[in-house]
Structure 1
C-alpha cells in the first residue's frame, strides 16, 4: 500500500473498522503481522485524538506510545463487542486523563532561587500572621486551664455557653464567669505588652 513520507497510509487505501477489528483479534491470538497492520491502520487516528484532547503535540507522541503499550497488554482480553478503533480510542482517552491527574498531583516547581522570599511576597498584608498567632497562643497559655478552656470553647470555637458548660462539666454561670475573667486577664496582658513596646 502506498504511504506518505511520514509512514501513514494513503487515505484512499485506509482500511475500514471491520478490517481493523479483524487485525486486532488476530493480533490477540499472537499474529505479529496483524499487530503491525493494526498499529499502522490506527496510529494516525490515535495521535490526532490525543493531540486534540491534550492540546499539546509534543506530548502526543509519548501518550500515543503509552496508549499502544496499554492496548497491546489488553489485546488478549479484547472481545470485539465494539470496533477495535473505538476500543483503542477509549484507551487513549484514559491515557490522557491519567496524564492530567498525574500532572495535577505533582508539585509544581518554582523558577526562582529564593523561594522563601517569593512565598512571603504572595502573603496578604494586614492579616494576623505567624508572629501574632504565636503571641496569642502565649497569652492564652498564661490563663489558668479552666479559664483558657472556657474562652477557647466560646470565643475561638464559637460554641454557645450552654455547649461549653456541657463539655466542661460545670454550670453555665461558671463558664460565663471564666470567659469574663479570661477577657479581663488578656486585656490587661495586651495593655502591658503595648505599653512596654
Structure 2
C-alpha cells in the first residue's frame, strides 16, 4: 500500500503543489498543504474507489486542506484573505505592457468568489477537463461548465 502512495506522490506531487500554489500564491503554504494532502491521502487510501483519477482525488483533498487553512486563518483574524495572496507585481525590469495586462487579469481572477477563482485556475493552469473539475467539487460536469462560463463573463 505504501508503494502505491509513493507512486502517487511521484506522479502527482508536483501537480498537486502547483494546484495549491494557484490557490494560495505562497510556496511555503503550498508545500505545507501538499504534505498535509498526502498525509490525509495515506490515511484514507482504503476509501479511494478509483471512480475518478488519482490526481482528481488528490486535488479534492488538497482543496479541503486549503479551505480548512482559510477558515483557521480567518478565525484567528491574523490576516485578511486578500493578504494571503502573494503580490505578483512585476519587477521593475519586467514592467512591459504585456506584464501589466497579465497582472491586471490575475488580480481580476483573484477578486472572483473563491469557487469561481478555483475553477478558472484549474482550467487555465492545470488544464483540467470540466468533468474533472466537477469531480473535485463533488458536482456535475455541466455545473463546472456553467460556473466557468459565468466567471469568464465577469472577467470580461
Tell me the TM-score range normalised by the shorter chain.
0.3 to 0.5
**Structure holding more helix per residue:** 2
Higher relative contact order (CA 8 A, sep 6+): 2
Higher Cα radius of gyration: 1
TM score, norm. by length of structure 2? 0.48
